[in-house]
Amino acid sequence: MSELRKVLIVDDEPNILTALEFLFRRSGYDVRLASNGVEALEQAETYRPDVMLLDIMMPVKNGYEVCQNVRERPHLAGMKIVMLSAKGSEAEINKGLSLGADRYVTKPFSSKDLLAMIDQLFDAGGTQKQ
Amino acid sequence: MRVPKGVALWVAATCAGVLAVLGIGAALQYWAAAPENRPHLVEVVSEGLPVVFFGTAMLMVFAGMAASWLFRRHPHAARQLAEQSRSLLAAEKGFRVATNGAPALVELAAVINQLADEYHRIEHDLESRSTETRARVEEERDRFAALMSELSQGVVVCNADGRILLYNPRAAALLAPAEPGRQGEYTPLGLGRSVLALLDRNQVAHALDMLQHQNGHVDRPQTRFVASAANGALLRVQVAPFLGAEQELAGLVFTLDDVGRLVGRESQRLRLLQSLATGVRGPVANLRATTENLASFPDMPADRREQFIEIAASEAHVLTEQLNAALLAYADALKGSLTLEDMRAADVLAVAQRRIAEALRLPVVIEDVDAELWLCVDSYAIAQAMTFLAARLANDYDLHGFRLRAGSGGNLGEIDLIWTGAIVGSDALSLWEGEPMRIGTEETPLTLRDVLDRHGSEAWLQVDKIRQISRFRLLLPRGQAVAPVPYRSTAAESRPEYYDFDLFEHIDGVGALAERKLSDLSYSVFDTETTGLEPSAGDEIISIGAVRIVNRRVLKQEVFEQLVNPRRPISRESTAVHGIDAKQLANEPPIEQVLPRFHRFCEDTVLVAHNAAFDMRFLELKEAATGVRFGQPVLDTLLLSAVVHPSMDNHHLDMIAERVGVRVIGRHTALGDALLTGEVFLRLVPLLAERGIVTLGQALEASRATYHSRLQY
């Protein structure tokens, strides 16, 4: 199992969590879930995922803040962040990428495209766990 | 005709000379005669003496008559002619010179009369031409004022100094205080006032910069901005310059639109779009992820499949809810497009009534209309649709009259076209809905369905078979009431005083106020009513009325009128004069709130009041409490009247008004008295000028010098 890529999915909506959890497990990922920003940061420290799928509009701490916090911690530097959001304006995309997200994906999205995009992300940047 | 003394003396001297010549002749004869002949000579002469005297007398008479005749026909007649000619210019037009002098003078008189005829003809021509021109200019001014009054946009025109030359009633309404009489920081719109007091100073300055920048590069420079007025309205302001004869900036035209509601509607639409865009993304994402899982992994366990199908169903449900909620919340934003206007339902019906009656020559009665109902409609299209329907009904079903009704049904307005008799099948209506609307020879490609769609509305037939009453019901979006623009008659005598182009000539010389001509200054003429006559014993102001004079005109539209709560009883004598008692004033603002507003009204003007010392005393006593000081010069019509009519004892306002020919109406309200004082003051200005009192400084000095200025209160 230690060979598997680790993905942390952060969203406050259980339905999308369920669907994405299933999708990533079936696609050969090790999956953990978090339903708000604070949980996401805790998991980031303890679980050390390779990639974090991060929703923006969440209670307690929103996706922008989580992304910023992760990027402020040097020991989490290798973690990829993909923002998944219903907010899709150019300004919002710019903000997400500027705060350190590697990709910004607007909802709704195609599962296949999402998986391909994440594969491509690892191919481009390399990972700690090849 | 009296012969002048000189002529008489001359005649007398001639006669005396003749007598002297005769006497000397006789004496020489006497000395020349031999001494023995001398007695005989004396005898002969003595005998002839009466004849000599008679002859001389006759000679004198003839000489006198001749002289008089000559005098009358020549020097006198010439002088008379000269005098008459001189008065030709001043006298009545029919006056002509005449002489019975010498023929040459008669001829001269005829030539003079000819010249006079010519002169008067030219004078008459010029006069009638200038009268014509004046009348045309007046007419154009009236027409212009009428046009300005009708504009739905506010218009304010100012000169290069920012002084207002013109405004229309819509501008006055747009810039009026939100709660009349209660606004603390409000400066009223008025001729001669600065436009900077009404709009944000920085925004106007920025607009000027922009215009200056555009000047020379752009054909028709203009700039616009959105500003909030002092009353809180959101205005779109468009500024365009106009140039003088030498291409210099002569002034600015501001057009004002109330965009508060437009902006509201637009932002509502934006919010609807945003709420749909972001609100729908989440559920759709979930739905998609779920269904893609279902499609991509057909081998998944049954319980998983069950779970995903449930998720899909619940997301679809969420999506539906979201859509419904958004559409309900922003229903207003979806109806009215920008081509639709807010109109009273009564007006929409009146237009439809007129159009149907004219097109079909059938009686149309408005049965019932909700006076409070406003619709958001394209009134032309609606009237056309109603007329088209009426025409089809009248032609196909031989109807002889219609009734109209408008009422509200929930969030929508209903308009009914009602008739009695023929029952029309609903299939007919669906057929008509798709036809281009033709009324007589007038045809448009629009169909009834188009009109309905444009309003986001629906229509149907409703039939009461028992009473044989049918109605075609049209549902229309409701509109918002639009604040009415006050109606102004454009008749010459009540022409609104919203413009004054003479202010172009206005020069602001604040420093040298004393040197300024009385006729050039702006005035605030005011009057107060009080609880009693003793300000120092605690009497208080209960009412202030004021009117502005700009360019020698009393601006009856620019008045200040405010009752004041004196917070003390009013003496019975005072109530008898002005008819105001304490109960009426209980809800009025106190003087501390009123005086700052009044002070702003009087800005940049000279104060005028009748018996000003009395009113000024009240104002002075409030300086400490209100922090408002009326430091501008004050003219008193009582004192000015005493300057103009020093021999008169009575300088009551009524008496002066009568003396200078002003009709007295509406006295003993503060505003009524201020208006009367203003008219009286304007009549006093030329009378003062006759006495050499032309400047403000001279008027103040003359006032000081009169006896009445020593009165103390």
Could you give the ipTM of this predicted complex?
Answer: 0.74
Task: Looking at the structure, tell me whether residues B537 and B681 fall in a common domain.
Answer: yes
Contact indicator for B348, B415 with CB cutoff of 8 Å: yes
For residue B329, give how far its alpha carbon lies from the nearest alpha carbon of chain A (Å): 21
Inter-chain residue contact A22 with B304, CB threshold 8 Å = yes
Task: Looking at the structure, tell me whether residues B175 and B28 fall in a common domain.
Answer: no
Identify whether B590 is part of a domain: yes
Which of B277, B278, B293 lies at the smallest CB-CB distance from A22?
A: B293
> Which chain A residue shows the shortest CA-CA distance from B318?
A15
- pLDDT above 70: percentage of residues in chain A: 93
Task: Looking at the structure, tell me whether residues B319 and B449 fall in a common domain.
Answer: no
Q: Report residue B418: phi and psi, to 5°.
A: -115, 140
Q: Binning pLDDT at 50, 70 and 90, where does residue B493 land?
A: very low
DSSP string, B383-431: HHHHHHHHHHHHHHH----EEEEEEEETTEEEEEEEEES----HHHHHH
- Cβ–Cβ contact A20 with B under 8 A: yes
Residues of B in contact with A107 (CB under 8 A): 281-282, 284-285
For residues A16-38, average pLDDT? 94
Which of B286, B292, B308 lies at the smallest CB-CB distance from A13?
A: B286
Q: Binning pLDDT at 50, 70 and 90, where does residue B23 land?
A: confident
User: Counting Cβ atoms within 10 Å, is residue A70 exposed (0-12), middle (13-18) or buried (19+)?
Assistant: buried
Task: Looking at the structure, tell me whether residues B240 and B174 fall in a common domain.
Answer: yes
Which DSSP helix (H) or strand (E) runs through B330?
none
The larger pLDDT score, comparing residue B610 to residue B229, is at B610
Task: Looking at the structure, tell me whether residues B7 and B85 fall in a common domain.
Answer: yes
User: What domains can you pick out in chain A, each with its CATH number?
Assistant: 5-121 (3.40.50.2300)
Checking if the pLDDT of A35 tops 90, the result is yes
Which of B278, B286, B292 lies at the smallest CB-CB distance from A87?
A: B278
Task: Looking at the structure, tell me whether residues B13 and B69 fall in a common domain.
Answer: yes
Which of A23, A26, A87 lies at the smallest CB-CB distance from B289?
A: A23
Range of the domain at B237: 151-258
Q: What is the pLDDT of residue B506?
A: 41
Q: What is the dihedral of CA B219, B225, B230, B233, to 10 degrees?
A: 110
Inter-chain residue contact A109 with B285, CB threshold 8 Å = yes
Q: Binning pLDDT at 50, 70 and 90, where does residue B713 land?
A: very low
Q: What is the pLDDT of residue B710?
A: 47
Q: Which residues of B touch A (CB under 8 A)?
A: 277-279, 281-282, 284-290, 292-293, 296-297, 300, 304, 307-308, 311, 314-315
3-class secondary structure, B247 = coil
At A79, the amino acid letter reads M
Inter-chain residue contact B293 with A19, CB threshold 8 Å = yes
Residues of B in contact with A105 (CB under 8 A): none
For residues B96-110, average pLDDT? 85
Question: Pick from B314, B334, B354: which residue ends a domain?
Answer: B334
Inter-chain residue contact A86 with B308, CB threshold 8 Å = no
Q: What is the pLDDT of residue B330?
A: 67
Q: What is the pLDDT of residue B91?
A: 61
Q: How many CB pairs under 8 A join A and B?
A: 68
Catalytic residue IDs of B: 668
For residues B140-149, average pLDDT? 78
Whole-model pTM: value is 0.46
Task: Looking at the structure, tell me whether residues B674 and B613 fall in a common domain.
Answer: yes
- Cβ–Cβ contact A16 with B under 8 A: yes
Checking if the pLDDT of B11 tops 80, the result is no
Identify whether B199 is part of a domain: yes
Q: What is the pLDDT of residue B484?
A: 52
Q: Report residue B329: phi and psi, to 5°.
A: -65, -30
Farthest-apart Cα atoms in chain A, separation: 40
Question: Pick from B229, B258, B287: which residue ends a domain?
Answer: B258
Inter-chain residue contact B277 with A26, CB threshold 8 Å = no
- Cβ–Cβ contact A73 with B under 8 A: no
Q: What is the pLDDT of residue B333?
A: 60
Inter-chain residue contact B292 with A23, CB threshold 8 Å = yes
Task: Looking at the structure, tell me whether residues B246 and B309 fall in a common domain.
Answer: no
Inter-chain residue contact B286 with A88, CB threshold 8 Å = no
Q: Would you give the DSSP letter of residue B312?
A: H
Inter-chain residue contact B286 with A19, CB threshold 8 Å = yes
DSSP string, B428-453: HHHHHHTSEEEETTEEEEEEHHHHHH
Task: Looking at the structure, tell me whether residues B382 and B289 fall in a common domain.
Answer: no
How far is residue B4 CA from its own chain's centroid? 65
Report residue A22 as tokens: 């299933």
Checking if the pLDDT of B656 tops 60, the result is yes
Checking if the pLDDT of B343 tops 90, the result is no
Residue B524: how many other CB atoms lie within 10 Å: 25
Q: What is the pLDDT of residue B547?
A: 92
* Number of domains chain B contains: 5
For residues B151-179, average pLDDT? 83
Cα distances from B117 to residues B89, B90, B107, B440, in angstroms, run 11, 14, 15, 65
Checking if the pLDDT of B632 tops 80, the result is yes
Identify whether B492 is part of a domain: no
Which of B278, B289, B314 lies at the smallest CB-CB distance from A19?
A: B289
Checking if the pLDDT of B420 tops 80, the result is yes
For residue B161, give how far its alpha carbon lies from the nearest alpha carbon of chain A (Å): 44
For residues B676-691, average pLDDT? 90
Residues of A in contact with B299 (CB under 8 A): none
Nearest to B195 by CA among B248, B281, B125, B256: B256
For residues B383-396, average pLDDT? 89
Beta bridge partners of B36: none
Weakest-pLDDT range from A10-19, B131-140, B493-502, B625-634:
B493-502
Task: Looking at the structure, tell me whether residues B11 and B75 fall in a common domain.
Answer: yes
Nearest to B640 by CA among B713, B585, B696: B696
Q: What is the pLDDT of residue B611?
A: 87
The Cα–Cα gap between B148 and B171 comes to: 10
Identify whether B491 is part of a domain: no
Q: Binning pLDDT at 50, 70 and 90, where does residue B221 land?
A: confident
The Cα–Cα gap between A79 and B157 comes to: 65
Checking if the pLDDT of A39 tops 90, the result is yes
Report residue B555 as tokens: 């601006």
At B140, the amino acid letter reads E
Task: Looking at the structure, tell me whether residues B111 and B165 fall in a common domain.
Answer: no
Per residue in B576-627, pLDDT tens? 777 787 788 888 898 988 998 898 888 889 999 998 888 888 888 888 888 8
Q: What is the pLDDT of residue B150?
A: 77
Inter-chain residue contact B282 with A13, CB threshold 8 Å = yes
The larger pLDDT score, comparing residue B478 to residue B441, is at B478
Which of A16, A26, A87 lies at the smallest CB-CB distance from B289?
A: A16
Checking if the pLDDT of B15 tops 60, the result is yes
The Cα–Cα gap between A86 and A107 comes to: 5
Residues of B in contact with A20 (CB under 8 A): 289
The larger pLDDT score, comparing residue B647 to residue B597, is at B597
Inter-chain residue contact B287 with A107, CB threshold 8 Å = no
Q: What is the pLDDT of residue B261?
A: 67
Task: Looking at the structure, tell me whether residues B698 and B587 fall in a common domain.
Answer: yes
Identify whether B489 is part of a domain: no
Q: What is the pLDDT of residue A22?
A: 94
Report residue B105 as tokens: 């003078």
Beta bridge partners of B418: B403, B471
The Cα–Cα gap between A13 and A36 comes to: 10
Q: What is the pLDDT of residue B3?
A: 55
Identify whether B191 is part of a domain: yes
Contact indicator for B344, B384 with CB cutoff of 8 Å: no
A108 preceded by cis ω (within 30°)? Answer: yes
Question: Pick from B206, B223, B258: which residue ends a domain?
Answer: B258
- Cβ–Cβ contact A27 with B under 8 A: no
